[in-house]
Chains A and B, each alone.
Chain A
Amino acid sequence: MNAHLASATAAAAERSARGSALAGTGALVRFMLRRDRVRLSVWTASIVFFYAYFVVALGALGDQARAGRALIMQTPSGIAMGGPGYGIENYTVGVAIANEGITWMVMGLAIMSILHIVRHTRGEEESGRSEPVLARTVGRHAPAVAAAITLCAVNAVIALASALVLSGVGGAELALADSFALTAGSGLSAMVFGAIALVAAQVTEHGRGAVGISLAAFGLAFMLRAAGDIQQRHGSALSWFSPIAWPQQMRPFVDVRWWPAALCLVAIFVFLLVGAFLGSRRDFGGGLIAVRAGRSDARAVLRGPATLAWLQQRTAFSWSAIGLGLMWFASGTLLPDITSMIAEIPESNPVFAAVFGADPSQFTTAFLGVMIMFAMLCCAAYAVVMGQRAKVEEGAGRAEIALAKPISRHRWFGAQLLVAALGTGMLAAVSIWAMWLGAASVGYAEQTFADYTGVLWPYLVALASYLGFATVLYAWIPRASGAGWVLLIYTFVIGMFGGLLQDLPDWVHGISPFYWLPAAFTEQPELGHMLGLAGVAVLLFALGFAGFRRRDVPTG
């Protein structure tokens, strides 16, 4: 592929003016699209699929259930996880998609945009891959501009395809113009975060730092929008500071207006300008934040692979713990609101009672259970990511250096997994206890600390299987390590929608490790189930260790 790039840039060099900061952009655009053709196609297909899925799922609910849903969407946590509540009085499929879907669509697209931009700018620089490219007649801004252009193109394709799918699947209920307002608005909003990533890529020396800064910006935007919308229905002034609010404020399927999209355009333009300004003022490979000199001797604790694995994973762990801890703490503080609101509803709204039952305390517990399942899925995601650390080490050639020392395969591999497992466990504990702390801090004492801990430990057993599954994949089919996500997605789909699909055989549920867990706060764990889960985890790890012992490192 490098040869392809070489000839492409050489050809571009002849065409473009020498010395121009943008020379070679066209060739880079083609190169990026070629390199990322699979990656971008998967993103596009997934997002379009989710739009279609939303329409079908929300349509299948029926009017009554949607009306009940509209009520939840007016609670603080509903608003935080959903939208400003335009058209909530008449909660049609379109209104529901706009109100609940936009935040998450923007999140998905923003993550795609951030990763795309950082990958092609700072990531390439950091790895040194862009050095031979820039040494040719390629302008210094060309990689950034090419990354922005390809990002625009991908977002445009996604917006168009999603709009067509929305109105295609939704039929007459979802007008094409409103559908496009929704998808294009979400895309533009996401591109604001892509543009922020471009600025971040100039500031930090490392791709990971740039991704972190950009995601933090998204987190801030998420909080601003949530806080602003909780203050006032249809959004307060605070909401308008968040790019996530802008597509929501376009009010698709209610009373569509286009001008908030212009805010996105202005923001994108401003961030691109700032990025270009900063980009012209730094050295290749350098950042604007200087690097301090480090230690010349290692600390005494750094003496085995486990310590090193912890040093490598601790940043990711700390940020995950802080982020998830805060998020679940905040969710915990919302529990009294949800309960008191729900308590009033069955009297005033017979529809709600029909859907969720007349006992509000049971409903709160069920709601809490779903929240905990989400929290534990986040921890499972952490396990899947950290389960692939060994693969990263091997791919980078660092496993080779360590294994050339008198360190057994088991010890090295075990160290990676031990740190990943402990991190996952601690993250699960932090998430659940943060929820308890949040609830307790606002005086909600339905469930005690012991209750939460009782919910926690069965989950720990189940979480081990995710790490175990990733381990087996890495040891036996390293190329397919990414398939660790499949189990996670499976759990999510079964956990959320398995109940809706009546005729699923038991084993389809049973593949999901969470299926074997007791209902949170109401059931006791069954010993047989827990032993079974633990047995599966042990088996997976044993299989992983055996596989890793017998294969080539690095694998061909």
Chain B
Amino acid sequence: MSTTPAIEIHELSKSFGRVRALDGLSLSVQPGEIRGFLGPNGAGKSTTLRVLLGLLRADAGSARLFGGEVWRDAVKLHQRIAYVPGDVSLWPNLTGGECIDYLARLGGRADKRRLKARKTELLERFELDPRKKTRTYSKGNRQKVALVAAFLADAELYVLDEPTSGLDPLMESVFTGYVREAGAAGKSVLLSSHILSEVEKVCDTVTIIRNGKDVESGTLEELRHLTRTSVSAVVGADPSALAALPGVHDLAATAFAGATRVTFDADNAQIGAVLTALTALEVRSLSATPPSLEDLFMRHYGDVLDPGTAAVGGSPEGAKGAGAR
């Protein structure tokens, strides 16, 4: 494996008329890395991926794949990548199987026998009937065609734009399996998504995009470190001392079976000191929930999203509309 980053984006900007879709975005994916690319609809995810593919021309900044310039060297670079677009539309007069073969052949050289075996396996795993005309496919089935075509390609980098939209949970786990397989084989993946759980499941690193700019980037561990753990404990002693500790938030204490139940959020940076203080209080039971990606996400988007609709990740069917087109 070379050490040239699979993807290296620096201060990328792109406007459509007066709409600024990307505004100084930076992002990188190292060889073998699986990076989640998180943001709600319209944040600029699809635009970023299309710039990477040389479909859109950036206004400013640089975007490189394997060290090559994405616009100028597009054709050469595409031999090494597989792409699943956010809104899959296929040739209506072809069957799903024909589309898959066609896309595989556009990719160029390949071992035919391996390809055939792999195709059969992928079709089976994704439970896709390849003999139907694609115009009769549902959204989920179109998505499967694109996924089969992508994983059929022997790529070094997978660029996936909300690849599980329209898939049922079973198929989602099949998909997750293939992403993990790619990661294990040393391939790089950039997985754009607004489904937090999916990113949490497969990604090593995450970049969060907001209004065309990366607002947070790092490993899941690093990002978690920036957030808080929810702690719930039943203690025998008086817990009021906890409130004075740095890094403790929203402390609440209620009487519980002759003892006291406390719940609070603790900054992960301070978690050691907080736990030391807590164990001094005759702990009878303790549960600590690590921060979810959703908490992370909400820190960046909470102010713009009403809690009622905050399930950004809860709705895989969420219309992928305005931002993508």
Residues of B within 8 A of A405 (CB): 78, 103, 106-107
Contacts of A315 in B (CB 8 A): 93
Shortest distance between the CB of A112 and any CB in chain B (Å): 25
A404 interface residue per 8 A CB criterion: yes
Indicate the member of A298, A404, A406 with the most B CB atoms within 10 Å. Answer: A404
Q: What residue of chain B has the Cβ atom nearest to residue A311's Cβ? A: B93
Residue from the set A291, A296, A550 with the largest chain B CB neighbour count within 10 Å = A296
Among A375-419, those with CB < 8 Å from B are 396-398, 400-408
B130, CB-defined interface residue at 8 Å: yes
Distance of A407 from chain B, by nearest CB (Å): 6
Contacts of B75 in A (CB 8 A): 406-408
Q: Does A528 contact B (CB under 8 A)?
A: no
Q: Which of B66-111 contact A (CB under 8 A)?
A: 74-76, 78-79, 81, 83, 85, 87-91, 93-95, 97-103, 105-108
B16: A residues at CB distance < 8 A: 556
How long is the Cα–Cα vector from A544 to B270 in the complex, in angstroms? 62
Determine if A20 is an interface residue (Cβ-Cβ < 8 Å): no
Contact A294 B133 (CB under 8 A): yes
Tell me whether B4 is interfacial, beta carbon within 8 Å: no
With both beta carbons as reference points, the residue of chain B lying nearest to A293 in the complex is identified as B131
B97 and A295 contacting across the interface, CB-CB below 8 Å: yes
The closest CB in chain A to the CB of B107 belongs to A405
When C-beta atoms are compared, the residue in chain A nearest to B15 turns out to be A556
Q: Which residues of A contact B20 (CB under 8 A)?
A: none
Cα distance, A126 to B133, chains bound together (Å) = 13
Which residues of the partner chain A approach B95 to less than 8 Å between Cβ atoms?
294-296
Q: Which among A206, A291, A398, A551 is the interface contact of B91 at CB below 8 angstroms?
A: A398
The answer to whether A406 touches B78, judged by C-beta atoms less than 8 angstroms apart, is: yes
A24 to B56, CA, bound (A): 42
A408 vs B77: C-alpha distance when bound (angstroms): 11
Q: Is the CB of A298 within 8 A of B55?
A: no
Q: Which residue on chain B has the smallest CB distance to residue A556? A: B16
The answer to whether A294 and B102 have CB atoms under 8 Å apart is: no
> Are B98 and A297 in touch, CB under 8 angstroms?
yes
Chain B residues with CB under 8 A of A556 = 16-17
Q: Which chain A residues numbered 410 to 446 have a C-beta less than 8 Å away from chain B? A: none
A397 touches B89 (CB 8 A): yes
Q: Of B17, B85, B94, which one neighbours A404 at CB under 8 angstroms?
A: B85
Contact A406–B132 (Cβ < 8 Å): no
List residues 58-101 of chain A with CB under 8 A from any CB of chain B.
none
Q: How far is the CA of A238 from the CA of B199 in the complex (A)?
A: 70
Contacts of B87 in A (CB 8 A): 397
Q: Give the contacts of A281-315 with B (CB-CB under 8 A).
A: 291, 293-299, 302-305, 308, 311-312, 315
Does A402 contact B106, Cβ atoms closer than 8 Å?
A: yes
Query: Does B78 lie within 8 Å of A404, measured CB to CB?
Result: yes
Q: Is A255 an interface position by the 8 A CB rule?
A: no
C-alpha gap A294/B106 in the complex (Å): 21
Residues of chain A within 8 A (CB-CB) of B78 are 404-407
B325 lies within 8 A of chain A by Cβ: yes
Residues of A near B201 (CB, < 8 A) are none
| Chain A residues touching B, range | 35 or more
0/1 per residue, A217-256, Cβ < 8 Å to B? Answer: 0000000000000000000000000000000000000000
Interface presence of B10 (CB below 8 A): no
> Shortest Cβ distance from A484 into chain B, in angstroms?
23
Give bound CA distance, A554 to B53, whole Å. Answer: 12
A506, CB-defined interface residue at 8 Å: no
Q: How far is the CA of A296 from the CA of B94 in the complex (A)?
A: 10
- Given A302-B98, A405-B107, decide whether A294 and B131 contact each other with a Cβ distance below 8 A: yes
Contacts of B106 in A (CB 8 A): 303-305, 402, 405-407
* Contact (Cβ within 8 A) B94 A401: no
In chain A, what residue has the closest Cβ to B90? A398
B108 touches A293 (CB 8 A): no
The CA of A404 and the CA of B159, in the complex, are separated in Å by: 10
Contacting residues, chain A, for B101 (C-beta < 8 A): 297-298, 302
A550: shortest Cβ distance to chain B, in Å?
Answer: 7
CB distance A297 to B97 under 8 Å?
A: yes
Q: Does B180 contact A (CB under 8 A)?
A: no
Contacts of A295 in B (CB 8 A): 95, 97-98, 131
Distance of A135 Cα from B303 Cα, bound (Å)? 34
Nearest CB in chain A to that of B325: its residue: A554
Residue B136 at the chain A interface, CB threshold 8 Å: yes
A553 and B85 CA atoms in complex are apart in Å by 13
User: Scoring B residues 154 to 179 as 1 if CB is less than 8 Å from chain A, else 0, what string do you get?
Assistant: 00000000000000000000000000
- Report if B125 contacts A (CB, 8 A): no
Contacts of A298 on B, CB cut-off 8 Å?
Answer: 94, 97-102, 105
How far, in whole Å, are A402 and B91 apart by their CA atoms in the complex?
Answer: 11
Q: What are the residues of chain A within 8 A of B94 when measuring CB–CB?
A: 294, 298, 302, 308, 311
With a CB–CB cut-off of 8 A, which chain A residues contact B97?
294-298
> Is residue A523 contacting chain B, with contact meaning CB distance below 8 A?
no
A552 at the interface (CB under 8 A from B): yes
Contact A406 B79 (CB under 8 A): yes
Cross-interface CB contact of B53 among A206, A302, A404, cutoff 8 Å: A404
Which B residues are closer than 8 A to A by beta carbons?
A: 16-17, 50, 53-57, 74-76, 78-79, 81, 83, 85, 87-91, 93-95, 97-103, 105-108, 130-133, 135-136, 146, 325
Q: Can you list 8 A-B pairs with a CB-CB distance of less than 8 A?
A: A297-B130, A302-B105, A398-B89, A401-B146, A403-B55, A405-B107, A553-B55, A556-B17
- List 5 extra interface pairs beyond A297-B97, A401-B89, A406-B76, CB under 8 A: A294-B97, A296-B130, A298-B102, A398-B89, A402-B106
> 5 shortest A-B CB distances, which residue pairs?
A298-B101, A556-B16, A294-B95, A405-B106, A296-B97
